[in-house]
Structure formats: structure tokens, C-alpha cells
Structure 1
Amino acid sequence: MAPTPSTRQVDRIVNSQPSQDGDGVRIQRIHDFGGGLDPFLMLDELGSDRPDDYIGGFPPHPHRGIQTLTYVIHGGLTHEDHMGHSSTIRAGDAQWMHTGRGIIHSEMPLTDQQGLHAFQLWLNLAARDKLSPATYRDVRGAEMPTLSGQDASLVALGGRWQDTAGESVTGPLEALAGQGAVAHARLAAGGELRLAAEASTLLVYVFKGSLEIAGTPVTQGRLARLGSGERLALTSREGAEALLLGGEPHGEPIAHYGPFVMNAHEELEQALRDYRDGTLTG
């Protein structure tokens, strides 16, 4: 008889913290540059109906050594970069940026009747990819497939997601660092979502309501890192929305300074010199 698949339990819970970035944009942030969320580095939640909290946006700034994934719930963001890309994403859309050797970009906010609500994830690039060419891509909400549960649904932004009955979907972003997978889960009151979940790193960030992971409650503004196992069981009494993040750790040294993430302090110094000299982007 085959063994019963194990359900993943909550290993630890991390609270998001208020912070600011860009031109005074107020955010809720979770970050770990010590490898505790590998291959993920940071999750920023931008959410406010007060324009003063975000209207300054993120003027032109550089990056090297990471990927970013920005996902909009309400409002929108306009992206421009040194490669000539200029585009706007709105509710349900995402933009993915592989910074590689270097990119200089800006992100300026747009609002709708509910203000602005968006997320930005940072994923660490493996050492072999940190000086690779920069690339950029928009993804529209209509391109993202949906997986249904019991009074619940999952929208796949990237990676492959499968329920315990064997039905699966693959998000349009297939080149996320660390075999990354990202999804938006919605659970109505009494909803249930049961997934196959074999990624080494599995994270759940609740941004609306509260849910239970294998019986452990996780409330709004908190991220749960899960232990090992083969199944993920999400339920909610009152209804909830969450980001699900999966991936494989690089297990490499992480050196971080501002918008640059490399493997050694000397590489950070080189990035700073390249930016000052105007050679960051190649």
C-alpha cells in the first residue's frame, strides 16, 4: 500500500512591517536577505486609498542580480526602462523583469475607485545568471489560467500548480528564478483549496481575511513558511485572499546593498562603480 501523502505544516510566521520606498511610497514589507525564503528575497504590498501614500511612485532607479514580479489587484502601474519598454499594467495584470547585469527603470502609480493595491516580489538570481542580459515582459490577467477548488480558486501567474485530484494549470511566467511559482488564491467563506505541493520552499502571504493551513490560522499581513510535505491544505471560515509562492533554493551566498543583490561584497562594489560610471547596463 502506498504511503499517505503528508500535509505541509506551518514552520514559522513572519509579520509584514511598515516601510517606505521610492518617493515616499508607504508599503508593508517582508524581507529576508539571509536565505530564509530562498529563492525569494522580498515581498512588498502597496495598498492604500490615500494618494499621498503612493503618488510619488518609484522614479528611475537601478537593479542588478534579481528578478522582480509586480502584480496589481486595484489601480495600475506604468513601467519605463532604459531598454525602451513603456507599458501599463492594471487590475489582474503582472509585469516581470529579469534585471540580470543591470536595468534602470521607473514605476509610476495609477488609481481606480479603490485606490492602489499591488505587490512586488524580488527573486534572487543564481550566480550564473546575475550578469545575464536584462529582459522584461508584461502579462495580462486574461493569460493567467485558473484552478478551482471548493468555493475557492487559484490564478496562476507563473509555474505549475496542481490540485490533489490531478488537475493542473501552468502560469504564463515560466522563467521565474529558482523554478519559481506564483499564484493568487481566493477562498470564499467556508472555502477549501487542496494542492499538490512539492516545492522545497513554499510560502503563503495572506492579504485579505484569514485562512487556516493544515489547521493553523494565518491572518492578514502575515506570511507563513511551510515545512516539508507533499500536500497543501488551505481553508477559510470567513473568506481570504493570499499569494502562494513556491521555488527551489539556490543555496548560494547572498550579498545585498539597496537595489543590488550579488554573491559577494566585491561584486556589490563593482555594481556601484558600474552605476556611477554609466556602465551598469552593459
Structure 2
Amino acid sequence: MQKFTQNDVTGAGVRPAARVVPGHPSADGAGVKIHRVAGFQSQEFSPFLMIDEIRSENPDDYIAGFPPHPHRGIETLTYMLSGEFEHQDHLGNRGAIAEGGAQWMRAGRGIIHSEMPSQGDVGMHGFQLWINMAAKDKMSKPGWRDIQPDEVRELTLDDRGSLMRMIAGEWQVGGEPHCAPLLDAAAEASVADVRLAPGAEVILPLPAEHSVLVYVYRGALDTGRGVVNRGNLVLFGNGESLQLRAPQGTPEESAGKQQDTGLLVLHGLPLNEPVVHYGPFVMNTREQIEQTLRDYNNGTLTD
């Protein structure tokens, strides 16, 4: 785990890059290959719990998908860059998202759902975020919503092609407030896809009380104290704004030309509550997890 020192802040109120959390290869569902960054026990992550990235041109890596499985106590947000996934759940909800679309699910007291690729041969690149729910909301009614690509607010950041796609929450860009299509996520969680041209920079004002995480999914991020490459997550310290800067040149492996930087930028209000995690269930105590397992085994998880 790479750590940064807390000196040499680049400007008043700018959050310093505090820590880099490396992602690691894993598998989930029916053997889907993923790249995972998890922080279930980290208050620096809260309210976020985990980021899974699916990225492959080989259908064998993802075609088996995620057959029906349960959840309790969390929300999930799925965002696709390429490929297509279809959601179905025990409530009768069904919907598919493709490139640029997102899907939100509140497990609440209990949901059983599946997520299956509906286009098998075009490659897959997407993300699923797990967002914790406050103790008072964990047994709330489950819910689900598709967010189609044309619903996502996209802003141009400069004349070099840098842009920002706001998926969830509230953002301030260029002195103007902007609302994403998903505003009812847990714990004021906000999610955006920021793409920066080589050498480009953007500063985003963010609530000082929020946690801030940035996952690098393409190219690299220049933190001012070191360059963080694709597949890693940066946790930021205290401050009132976030500075994002792409290196001047990140060579592509094959073409030898500069590559842009792709970032998932997350911020949310920390819950400051205990987290007990067991498989697809996230509660606050061991006793609640044990009750959840009993409910699932006796068929009352979704009652």
C-alpha cells in the first residue's frame, strides 16, 4: 500500500492524495473475472465499500454472469463503458443497460437478483460499486432503477476533449451546480466519470465533510506526489476541493501515442457506523448477519 506524506499541498483547500489502494484480480458470480478494490473496514472509504471492474475482450471471462443471488443492507451502482448487462429481480423488475448507462439497486431488507450479459461477443468494460446503507435504512424497502445513456448529464471541461459524466449525486463544475439523474442514493453518495486529455486539469469543489475516492480505469492520474496508474484507487485527505490532473503523456502500449485518463470520482458522507460483512450481506453487527442468514435459508429474506 503506497502512502503519501501530508506536506506540499498544492493550494489552499485542495485535498491531498493521502493513500493509494491497489486493486487486485478476483472472481465473482459464476466465475466472472474482475479487478477489485475493497474497503469494508475503512472509514476513509465510507460510505463506499467496494469497486469491481469488469474489463475483457474474451467472453469466457464474463459470459457466465451473475446468476440469481441475494443482498441485504447495501446499494449497488453498475456503470457500463462497453457491453451490455441485464438485471432481473424477485420484484419483477427487468432492464438492460449498455454503453454509457447505469443501474441502481437498493437491497434494503432483502432482494434476490441476477445480472447477466446480454451481448456475448463484443467485449465488456464496466463497474459495480457497493454503497453502504445507514443502520436506520438497512431494513427499508428494496428498489431498482435503470439510467439510460441519454439521461446522464455530460459536460465538456476543455477544448481538448476532456469531459465529465455525472451519474449520481450533486456536483459543482465551473461555479455552477449540477444534479445527476440519481439523487436518492444512500449517504449522499455521488459518482462521476471524468475523462481528461493528456496534461488536462480540473478542480472540483466538494463538501468538506465527505470522503473522496478516485479510481483510475484508464491512463494515469498525476497526484502531485506521484503518478497513479490504471487499476488503483486514490483516497484523498481533508479539504474543500479536488484537483485532478492527467500526466502530459501516457503512451499507449501499441500505438505509441498519448492516451487520455479515465477516472471514477466518488464522494459521500461517511456513516461512522460498524460494518459486518459476510458475502452479499452488509450489516452492523454479527447478530444481524446471523439473522440475515437464517432469513435467507428459511425463505423470508425478502418478506
TM-score normalized by structure 1?
Answer: 0.95
Structure 1 match to 2:20: 13
Give, in angstroms, the shift of residue 5 of structure 1: 4.1
5 Å matches for 1:238-277?
238=249, 239-277=260-298
Give, in angstroms, the shift of residue 215 of structure 1: 5.3
Q: In structure 2, which of residues 192, 217, 226 is the aligned counterpart of residue 207 of structure 1?
A: 217
Determine if contact 1:254/1:261 at 8 Å carries over to the other structure.
Answer: yes
Structure 2 match to 1:140: 148
RMSD: 1.4
Determine if contact 2:59/2:121 at 8 Å carries over to the other structure.
Answer: no
Indicate yes or no: 2:198 matched with 1:189: yes
Determine if contact 1:149/1:194 at 8 Å carries over to the other structure.
Answer: no
Q: In structure 2, which of residues 48, 70, 73 is the aligned counterpart of residue 40 of structure 1?
A: 48
Letter of the 1:235 partner, please give it.
R
Structure 1: which 5+ runs fail to align? none
Structure 1 match to 2:184: 175
Higher strand share: 1
Letter of the 1:173 partner, please give it.
L
TM-score normalized by structure 2?
Answer: 0.89
Give, in angstroms, the shift of residue 35 of structure 1: 2.9
1:97-147 Cα distance to aligned partner (Å, 9 max, x none):
000000000000134775000100000000000000000000011111123
Query: CA–CA distance in 2 between the matches of 1:113 and 1:247?
Result: 36
Q: Which has the larger displacement, 174-183 or 206-215?
A: 206-215
Determine if contact 1:213/1:232 at 8 Å carries over to the other structure.
Answer: no
Letter of the 1:28 partner, please give it.
H
Letter of the 1:262 partner, please give it.
M
Q: Which has the larger displacement, 62-71 or 166-175?
A: 166-175
Indicate yes or no: 2:69 matched with 1:28: no
Structure 1 match to 2:237: 227
Query: CA–CA distance in 1 between the matches of 2:237 and 2:155?
Result: 23
Percent sequence identity is: 47
Letter of the 2:71 partner, please give it.
H
Structure 2: which 5+ runs fail to align? 1-10, 250-259
Give, in angstroms, the shift of residue 54 of structure 1: 0.6
Indicate yes or no: 2:85 matched with 1:77: yes
Letter of the 1:61 partner, please give it.
H
Determine if contact 2:32/2:62 at 8 Å carries over to the other structure.
Answer: yes
Structure 2 match to 1:166: 175
Q: Tell me, what secondary structure is at the counterpart of 1:207?
A: strand
1:187-223 Cα distance to aligned partner (Å, 9 max, x none):
1122221211225200000000012134542210010
> How many residues end up aligned between the 2 structures?
278
